[in-house]
Amino acid sequence: MSIKLSQIKGFLNSFLLHKGTFDLLQIDLIKRLVKHRAFQFAVILPNLFFFWLIILTGFFGSPVGNMNLSITFVWMLWWFALIALLVPLFSRLWCTICPIPSFGEWMQRKGFIRKKEDYKPLGFNKSWPVRFRNIWLQNLGFLILATFSVLLVTRPIVTGIILAILIILASVLAIFYAKRVFCRYICPVGGFLGLFSMFSSIELRVKKKELCVHHFSKECIKGCETSYGCPWFEYPGSMERNNFCGLCFECVKACPFNNIALNLRSFGKDILAKVGRSLDEAWKAFIMLTLAILYILVMQGPWGWIRDLANVFYSPSYGFALNGIEGFLLYAGLFWGTSLGLTPVTFLGFSYLSKAFSKASLPLRRLFIDFSYELIPLALGAWIAFSIPIIMVNWSYIVNTLSDPFGWGWNLFGTKEIPWTPITPEFIPYLQVLIVTIGLFYSIKLGFKLSSQHFLEKNLALRAFIPQLAFLIGTSILLAWLFVG
Amino acid sequence: MWGEKLDRTELLAIILVGAILIGTPLVIYYYQVNRVIKIMNYEKEIEIAANTFENGNWFPDKIVVKKGEPIRLIIYGSDVAHSLTIPKLGIDSGIIKPGHIKVIEFIPEEEGIYEIYCGIPCGSFHSFMIGKLIVVR
């Protein structure tokens, strides 16, 4: 069960010397864990407790955000852990432990852990409509939530209601549609998790594709006596991107040849994968980059009147600002207009310049979509940079609410009275600039490789990439100015 | 599983999920009720809980006392920071943090209806957080 010296040697050999990957399933402990039928249930269970506690605190706890666990745990701890650690390092590992679709899945499977031999899913088991087999609905859902984010991240009751709605929606969809339709096509978090997980340093892939080609029973899709098959509608044999792999490890349990690997790899590999590039994902990249900038502007900028516009219930004290609803509609219009219109149109202009500079005969649409994937590292960097002060400034609220989750004056673990103590706030802007710079580095590196996929001549690839470089550097300068300007 | 004979693993899973979904609110309720009872019942006095208007306002929002009788008011801050003020009687409890109590003592000298306010802006409906102290003969 333990990690052996030979396994460490194996890691060094394969990761450093061969291909830059290492199969974590070579470690017995990990392999045995993920192959165990109780694995996912066991990791969801503690999370289910916290989700339930978050809903209860949201509904019944203090309305003051920083005194309520629903706000501190979700929008400080979870958000930071998700965006800064889980996604970059472990892809969609959050989906492994997320309890939101669990009730629906347990209902479909008529059980929690065991796989029955004569298993037939409960529910209508319908197919998801073809026209919605994309992430447009996720883009829409995320934008709607993001528009109300000032309420969402400050009012516990709103967080409680949204979590409850998501659980109910996932469960209802599971009654009508097969498998994890909610996770794949609806979940507003899933959309950006999929996009950012392309950058992640971990991947689940088959070891030998030819083995899958000649293996016709396809237990990884259909299931077998030890596995339900992939609930995400993925076929591991052809998977080249992390986007829709929820790391449930059903395929690992199913594969009779142990042909599935969980590889450590270099960052951003999937961004160069030529399959699956689409307009809905391109727009997701625009939305994520734009919202990161807008959030930094609204929530961390010195302009209080913008923040007031974002609060639909707020009557401003500033003479020039609009009142609650009008101001909010203006804010929402700017929010949607920039993320769905201004940024993509600007990027289209830069893509047109790329086409003009390189005199490429490629369709503009192709260049526009493909180059949009270079935004992923920069957008992720911007989101991590945005999340850094949330944890460094507000960590004491998290430990306070650990002892007093409802804000009722409890002191369960003696951490209730820890005073508000930001960690080196004077260095935060420089740390933010550093993180955005790392994102920019990867965006430039991968962007040039994307350009090279279209232009075999280095000179042409470089010329096509010059406008993209200008866009990336310009956006980074804007972000840096917002942090330290 | 459902409709069939349960095996032990599935039974354990049901118990664990049930313990979380049913046990968690029960434990929280039991703990909180006992804690409030412990705080509030150390003497038989008049007790009042300060809640924001949207969370239920002063509870109770009417207190009836007798003129000339010394009273001891135990105020429990239940959600956000509040204070209890009765301007006409010159009473101000000072800040009461959530989960804490303040005790004030006074003797009402005059009959009448006195409005009880919260002296600390406690939310969007702060100005609606009004109770009544009724002093009778």
Rg (CA), chain A: 23
Residue A235 DSSP SS3? coil
Q: Does the distance separating the beta carbons of A48 and B20 come in below 8 Å?
A: yes
Give the distance from residue A121's alpha carbon to the nearest chain B alpha carbon, in angstroms: 12
In a domain, A139, yes or no: yes
State the first-to-last Cα distance of chain A, in angstroms, to the nearest integer.
53
Give the distance from residue A48's alpha carbon to the nearest chain B alpha carbon, in angstroms: 8
In a domain, A362, yes or no: yes
The answer to whether residues A106 and A20 belong to one domain is: yes
The answer to whether residues A254 and A307 belong to one domain is: no
Suggest the residue from B9, B17, B96 to mutate for an interface test with chain A (most A CBs closer than 10 A): B17
The answer to whether residues A213 and A357 belong to one domain is: no
The answer to whether residues A458 and A311 belong to one domain is: yes
The answer to whether residues A149 and A247 belong to one domain is: yes
pLDDT of residue A319: 47
In a domain, A198, yes or no: yes
Residue ranges of chain A with per-residue pLDDT less than 50: 1, 318-320
**Tokens 């020039």 sit on residue:** A320
Q: Which residue has the higher pLDDT, B5 or B20?
A: B20
pLDDT of residue B55: 82
- Could you tell me the pLDDT band of residue B5, with boundaries at 50, 70 and 90? low
Residue B67, pLDDT > 90, answer no
- Residues of chain B contacting A53 with CB distance shorter than 8 Å: 24
Binding-site residues on chain A for chain B (CB distance < 8 A)? 38, 41, 45, 48-49, 52-53, 56, 62-64, 67, 110-114, 116, 313, 404, 406-410
The answer to whether residues A368 and A432 belong to one domain is: yes
- Residues of chain B contacting A52 with CB distance shorter than 8 Å: 20-21, 24
Which chain B residue shows the shortest CA-CA distance from A46?
B20
In a domain, A411, yes or no: no
The answer to whether residues A344 and A390 belong to one domain is: yes
- Residues of chain B contacting A113 with CB distance shorter than 8 Å: 9-10, 13
Which chain A residue shows the shortest CA-CA distance from B19?
A49
pLDDT of residue A43: 97
Count CB atoms within 10 A of the CB of residue B77: 25
pLDDT of residue A327: 78
The answer to whether residues A76 and A125 belong to one domain is: yes
Q: What is the pTM of this model?
A: 0.85
- Residues of chain B contacting A67 with CB distance shorter than 8 Å: 80, 98
Q: Which residue has the higher pLDDT, A374 or B97?
A: A374
Q: Which of A222, A239, A271 is the last residue of a domain?
A: A271
Question: Distance between CA atoms of B8 and B14, rounded to whole angstroms?
Answer: 10
The answer to whether residues A259 and A282 belong to one domain is: no
Give bridge partners of residue A4 from the DSSP assignment.
Answer: none
Question: Distance between CA atoms of B93 and B100, rounded to whole angstroms?
Answer: 12
pLDDT tens digits for range B6-36: 788 999 999 999 999 999 999 999 998 888 7
The answer to whether residues A265 and A362 belong to one domain is: no
pLDDT of residue B65: 86
Give the distance from residue B70's alpha carbon to the nearest chain A alpha carbon, in angstroms: 29
Question: Distance between CA atoms of A25 and A111, rounded to whole angstroms?
Answer: 27
- Residues of chain B contacting A63 with CB distance shorter than 8 Å: 52, 54-55, 79-80, 123
Number of Cα atoms under 13 Å in the Cβ half of residue B1: 20
Which chain B residue shows the shortest CA-CA distance from A41?
B13
In a domain, A413, yes or no: no
pLDDT of residue A4: 66
Give the distance from residue A97's alpha carbon to the nearest chain B alpha carbon, in angstroms: 15
pLDDT tens digits for range A180-204: 999 999 999 999 999 999 999 999 9
Q: Which of A246, A271, A296 is the last residue of a domain?
A: A271
The answer to whether residues A201 and A301 belong to one domain is: no
Q: Which tokens hold the place of A471?
A: 């866009």
Total structural domains within chain A: 2
pLDDT tens digits for range A327-384: 788 888 988 999 999 999 999 999 999 999 998 889 999 999 999 999 999 999 999 9
- Residues of chain B contacting A409 with CB distance shorter than 8 Å: 35, 77, 97-100
The answer to whether residues A302 and A261 belong to one domain is: no
Give the distance from residue B96's alpha carbon to the nearest chain A alpha carbon, in angstroms: 11
Mean pLDDT of chain B: 86
Asked whether A287 and A142 are in contact (CB, 8 A), the reply is yes
Give the distance from residue B10's alpha carbon to the nearest chain A alpha carbon, in angstroms: 6
- Give the helix ranges, DSSP H, for A223-363: 250-254, 279-295, 304-310, 324-336, 343-358
pLDDT tens digits for range B111-121: 889 999 999 99
Residue A476 DSSP SS3? helix
pLDDT of residue B44: 46
In a domain, A409, yes or no: no
Domain extent for A169: 5-271
Q: Does the distance separating the beta carbons of A56 and B28 come in below 8 Å?
A: yes
pLDDT of residue A1: 46
pLDDT of residue A102: 97
Q: Which of A271, A306, A341 is the last residue of a domain?
A: A271
